[in-house]
Amino acid sequence: MKYLSTRGEGSGRGFSEILLEGLAPDGGLYLPERYPRIDATTLARWRGLSYAELAFALLALYIDDIPAGDLRALVERTYTAEVFGDPRVAPLRPLEPGVFVLGLSNGPTLAFKDLAMQFLGHAFEYELARRGRTLNVLGATSGDTGSAAEYALKGKRGVSVFMLSPLGRMSPFQQAQMFSLQDANIHNIAVEGVFDDCQDLVKAVSADLAFKQRHAIGTVNSINWARLVAQVVYYFAGYFQATTSNDQAVDFAVPTGNFGNICAGHVARQMGLPIHRLVLATNENDVLDEFFRTGRYRVRSAAETHETSSPSMDISKASNFERFVFDALGRDPARTRVLFAEVESKRALSLTADERARIASFGFASGRSTADDRLATIRAVHARHGEVIDPHTADALKVGREHAEAGTPMIVLETALPAKFNATVHEAIGVDAPRPARFAGIEDLPRRFTTMTVDVERLKAFVAENG
């Protein structure tokens, strides 16, 4: 399988080449040249596979420049009951008639990002060793991405992590999770500023091409194709658990920020998985809900981006959205280039009526959930079912219910466990969220982090010294 860029240049690369890159050289996003179609025989066979076997079967369709035996070993090392706390890896549970919850958050950092990032960690280590290279991963996080990356890359050979986070702004649990890591290759940098300052610092370092090259700076952000394709697997796994035959169709409700998770659902659908609708849920940051309801795409400024109680969805511009638009408009790189240049310059996407109709034919539905909705949903689920869900999952459940149809199972993706966002959970139900035993007393562990002002030169010096 070869990969191409949504903007037309840099085509013809293999998986292992784009693995260590972020954006394509023309600023576009990588996609496979085509989506392999899964026929009925293959789908029937896949139904009987374990998660790791399924992951290998699916990933092998997209990865042909890593020997099959090596890929199988990487996948088997990644998707184990020990790492994900359940032999099914992504277990499905019924919540109420017609509504299921797909548990994606039982991995090392209690968020769904582990499912992709753990694979990325093993794949990075493998590929760097094969190429005799090293990598310094530089990133900015407001919570879930940073911890998932650190837990995936800690102790891995050939790679160091420099993760910037806004000092004192993550949840106490998230802070404890990241800062308690003692591994020599993990560097937490608490920046005296807000998340945007962290992101600006990363951009400034990456813009210094000489520095970037000299110190082998890389990223693990959500536009990485390897992360996206690893997420396609759990759409299949969820489908097989919710249905008894491959003639049935299902809906998925997805709490959405950067459009990475739901884009994996789109890929699963393009491969032939019987998905009726992909239901996109936003919080108060509703750029994408507005788009799917009205056809208008209006990027918000940082100042217009709300800080909400589902913080991992507080996004003003969804970085993976270009992938879907590229596919929906018939994979025309010239048109994609024009449209997304306008997103930069005018903060809007100017589609023709015909293009809007094509997008509408892709089976997306959407809705919005607010702070009050999250509290009410968490409270009602607790009262009715005795279960505790996290605020992001609550957004998806609220919107998913609005779109549920009799006879079509609605699978709600659980993207985090409630222990990560205890303040909101406590506000909703008056008691603490249950916490997995392995995280008992995590706040009391010794912490390893560096505090820094918003200073590009200091950051560069720190990376040069510790990389």
Ligand X SMILES: *Cc1c(COP(=O)(O)O)cnc(C)c1O
Q: Which sequence positions are flagged as catalytic? A: 113
Integer CA distances (angstroms), 85 to 146, 149, 184, 259, in order: 21, 18, 26, 26
Contact stretch for ligand X (CB under 6 A) within 59-67, 134-142, 252-260, 445-453: 252-260
- Interface with ligand X, residue 6, by CB under 6 A: no
* Distance between CA atoms of residues 413 and 86, nearest Å: 16
- Interface with ligand X, residue 312, by CB under 6 A: yes
Nearer to ligand X, 215 or 398 (CB): 398
In the complex, minimum distance from the CB of residue 431 to ligand X, in angstroms, rounded to a whole number: 21
- Interface with ligand X, residue 102, by CB under 6 A: no
Cα end-to-end distance, the chain, whole Å: 33
* Distance between CA atoms of residues 305 and 284, nearest Å: 9
In the complex, minimum distance from the CB of residue 255 to ligand X, in angstroms, rounded to a whole number: 4
Contact stretch for ligand X (CB under 6 A) within 45-53, 95-103, 253-261, 433-441: 253-261
- Interface with ligand X, residue 4, by CB under 6 A: no
- Cβ atoms of 253 and 397 within 8 Å: the answer is yes
Contact stretch for ligand X (CB under 6 A) within 254-262, 268-276, 289-297, 436-444: 254-262
- Interface with ligand X, residue 103, by CB under 6 A: no
H helices of 48-143, in order, are 51-62, 68-78, 81-84, 113-131
Region 354-393 residues binding ligand X, contact defined as CB under 6 A: 392
- Cβ atoms of 79 and 89 within 8 Å: the answer is yes
Contact stretch for ligand X (CB under 6 A) within 259-267, 365-373, 379-387, 449-457: 259-267
Residue 248 makes CB contacts below 8 A (sequence gap 6+) with 274, 409
Q: Which of 415, 425, 452, 467 binds ligand X (CB under 6 A)?
A: 415
- Interface with ligand X, residue 121, by CB under 6 A: no
Phi, psi angle pair for 81, to nearest 5°:
-65, -30
Phi, psi angle pair for 124, to nearest 5°:
-60, -50
- Interface with ligand X, residue 111, by CB under 6 A: yes
For residue 16, the Cα-to-chain-centroid distance in whole angstroms is 20
Contact stretch for ligand X (CB under 6 A) within 88-96, 257-265, 271-279, 321-329: 257-265
Nearer to ligand X, 113 or 401 (CB): 113
- Cβ atoms of 337 and 7 within 8 Å: the answer is yes
Strands (DSSP E) found in 292-430 = 364-368, 410-414
Q: Which of 256, 282, 366, 422 binds ligand X (CB under 6 A)?
A: 256
In the complex, minimum distance from the CB of residue 262 to ligand X, in angstroms, rounded to a whole number: 6
In the complex, minimum distance from the CB of residue 369 to ligand X, in angstroms, rounded to a whole number: 12
- Interface with ligand X, residue 108, by CB under 6 A: no
DSSP 418: G
Nearer to ligand X, 175 or 261 (CB): 261
Question: Per-residue DSSP letters for 270-311?
Answer: HTT--EEEEEEEE-S--HHHHHHHHS--BPPPGGG----SSG
Q: Which of 153, 159, 313, 389 binds ligand X (CB under 6 A)?
A: 313
Q: 17: how many CB neighbours lie within 10 A of its CB?
A: 16
* Distance between CA atoms of residues 448 and 212, nearest Å: 25
- Interface with ligand X, residue 91, by CB under 6 A: no
Q: Which of 91, 103, 260, 409 binds ligand X (CB under 6 A)?
A: 260
Helix and strand element counts for the chain (H, E): 20, 13
In the complex, minimum distance from the CB of residue 324 to ligand X, in angstroms, rounded to a whole number: 12
**12 Rama class: left (phi>0) / alpha (psi -120 to 50) / beta:** left
- Interface with ligand X, residue 10, by CB under 6 A: no
Q: Which of 114, 125, 144, 355 binds ligand X (CB under 6 A)?
A: 144
Q: Which of 221, 258, 305, 309 binds ligand X (CB under 6 A)?
A: 258
The encoded tokens of residue 269 equal 């659908």
Nearer to ligand X, 144 or 322 (CB): 144
Q: Which of 118, 171, 188, 261 binds ligand X (CB under 6 A)?
A: 261
Q: Which of 28, 139, 255, 367 binds ligand X (CB under 6 A)?
A: 255
Nearer to ligand X, 5 or 424 (CB): 424
Nearer to ligand X, 128 or 416 (CB): 416
* Distance between CA atoms of residues 255 and 352, nearest Å: 28
Residue 300 makes CB contacts below 8 A (sequence gap 6+) with 285, 287, 316, 317
Which chain residues interact with ligand X by CB under 6 A? 111, 113, 144, 222, 255-261, 312-313, 392, 415-416
